Chains A and B, each alone.
Chain A
Amino acid sequence: MDQLTALRNLGDTVPAPTDHALALGHATLLQHIADTAATPARLRKTRRHVATISTDEPAFAPARSVPRPAPHPIPERHRVRNAFIALGGIAAAVAVITLVLSNTLGIGGWQSGGISAPNTSTPAPPHHFVLPDDCASLVDPSIIAEWSARYGDAPLISELGSPIGGPRVAGGDCSYGAAETAFASLSVSVTVFSADNPRAASEQGLQDQGMQSAVQPDGSTLYYSDTPGIDFATAEMVLVADEAVISVRVNGVSAADGPGLMPLLSGWLAKVSDRVGLTAPTTPTFSSPQPTNSAQAATTFQLPASCAGAVGTSILPAWSPRFGEATTIDDSRYRALDGGDSVGVHCAYGSNQTGRLLTVIVGTIDTASDGRQRAEAQARLISNAEQPLGNGTLFAEPLGGVGGEPVSASLTLITDKAIITVAARGTEQRSAELLPYLREWLDDIATRTGANS
């Protein structure tokens, strides 16, 4: 799809005006016409009002057949008024420049770089609390990389201390992912204690949530939880120190992931602590449970109910470190279009910025007596290599990378009951180099679903 078509399509999605809006506009116009036509004085007033709107309406050739009112000289009082407006504009510009300069030079501005005032005669302690200016300073990129490897795309959706339209506040949340739609999200937050928000109140709140705690040698306290709590976080780790409370929180993922996330959260909290100048807490030893739904062989083919079941827990974590973002592009069920009764799930993950895409399709074979033969015949048409695999047939389609086309490759396994396709496109690797990855993932799916048992 070219961009102009995409733009046109976007325009088509805009709804028509409501009857109320149309009626209101019509009434306003008729009232305006009536007012204007009523007295010449009101006509002039309306024109002056409209002239103040910055319309820059195109000046067309005057219609000879329509009489035009003569231009009105600007009265003296308007000249004075305009002069005042101009002076006001200059004063506003000076004020803006002053504000910008004072902010840039740090004159009278909020010292966002640290709680302790700079340039004091007291030597700074080796570790002192520093409130970062932004999320890039607070959150180490490796945290986002590790998160993305598990849960895909992680755009920043909330920046520190900058509520839209509100005053800047000390601290705040750095949220990554799609928190507003309750999909997987990662939040790293820092809140500075104050008279209005003392440490004791913060700790009381955490204790009320039933979080486990561990007092640290330096007097700080670590709170943690690997089950969904009052704030619906699947896993959470919080460090309460004298100056501030920092936390790392995961929302919108399966509750079963909670325990497995704790070792990651320990590492992430240590990195965040380091960024703000707090001593990293000593965390309990958390075990890393093995993925629960990967490579557990099924004895008969079971069509996955969703894409989560189709890709399991190991495919996307294996895709992301090599090929990047794995945002869900498609997660849907399909039914055969050719009149057959095959059904399945269609899953696509990748990035609509880079065009890299992983497609996984798991479906049933048409139950008609020649269902498998027809599926294999169709696969042969688009494949250039095939080999037997268990009781099925594996078809390979290494493609792309020539003439500007995105590199792509696909593997399809067809058995008596199942059809599984794993395909990738848009990667830098040549298509032949993609196939071993695809084979590994296809084997994983086939084993878990029992497709080739």
Chain B
Amino acid sequence: MTPAATIPVVVREVRPVTPLIRRFTLAREDGLPLPAFSAGAHVVVVMPGAARTLRNPYSLMGTSADLSTYDIAVRLSETSRGGSRFMHEAVAPGSKLAITPPVNLFPLDKLARRHLLLCGGVGITPVSAHVRELVHGGVPFEVHCGARSIEHATLALELRAIAPDAVAIHLDTPGPTMDVEAILAEQPLGTHLYVCGPGGMIENVIATARAAGWPESHIHWERFTAPPAGKPFEVTLSRSGKRITVPPEMSLLEAIEAAGVDAPFLCRGGACGQCETTVLALDGTLLHHDVYLSADQKAAGDRIMPCVSRADCRTLVLDR
């Protein structure tokens, strides 16, 4: 499947939320309602960067109750490859952007008997939508938000106002920090765990849950991995007959797109498998950074997820 047609949007409002996070309110340029969506969905925002088009996924924070606008929150990344910096520095009310239709790779399990949501930092954005959906349902839920300090906890305070009994806030300063082991210890059967936050937090929560006997089917996470930078490498696209160079700061998928070749994608974070591409020839090593392919598939070297993975090679030929 080729990428979905994008929806032109205009930025209605930009509000600082914390020292690092800004909230953007987007509306369709033509004034029509935006597509309905389910809690946990994201859109990919297409930004007209100076040097190249930037595409970053951001979770939708509200609900389908009001489809006149979407709200997203963007944290300025210290290691920004351009996307979050563009959003913070170049986007103002009236700016024009484009978004893909919503895709949900982090939905709530509809048969869960209880929902346990853990988030850290800007990972609160999908959880914001989850909580707004859960307050209308009959299933019990519990939310734990981690933040550096109270000035970084604005979105968590918002959630606590919506569901005072269900939302706990844990601040690094003054502490105490989130005690994941204690939170996971006494959860009733049928609880589903959702975690979104920095990579280290996700890994820690998953490891703690596994150690406490949680089965994989009850553990859900979403991680928006920025594509890692690396050494430049050259790629031949056999179907389109093009030869491209992937610069250090650009992902393979972005380089393919920049060459004018349509390539499928959904998450742009190595999780969904949509951009899977067949490797036709390789002289060198694939540097897999995705969580989609199994260890065996990665070792086989016959396919790659170009949204996050790279290569250290003399030759790479892709079926694209």
Partners in one complex: no
